[in-house]
Structure 1
Amino acid sequence: LATGPRVVFADEPTGALDSLAGEQVMAALVRAARTSGTSVLVVTHDAQVAAYADREVRLRDGATAGLEVGA
């Protein structure tokens, strides 16, 4: 976020972390993104990580399976 990107792409950003470290990483990422006005697109299989999202798009077999706003 130091270079001021408009969008950050994060593919399984907490995949190798325990749950506490994952929550800390996500809280820091969300805080930094909101402070800077940066959008973050996260790919995850973890419901706890998905809970940080403002919008959630679910995919199944390569197709959109659901959309939630205010997730």
Structure 2
Amino acid sequence: FYCMAELPVDDSDRFAQWLLESYNLDGETVMVAPAGGFYSDPELGKKQVRLAYVLKEDDLRRAIDILGDALIKYNNR
């Protein structure tokens, strides 16, 4: 299953790249899909990501914790 989420970031493409290249929490990170490519006008998805939730409940909770920490650190860079 998927959901779209608007995040408090300047650019979801940059945030997604930063997650994979520059961030980890105890050796773990998460991967998100920038939403711009899902719209006919990419600006509509500039601050949005598509999230897949196909994991076990415990893994989803961990991913939420990681994403929350990442958002704080990304916005305080």
> Would you tell me which structure has more strand in proportion to its own residues?
1
TM-score interval, normalised by the smaller of the two chains: 0.3 to 0.5
The TM-score, its normalising length taken from structure 1, stands at 0.37
- Structure with more of its chain in helix, by fraction: 2
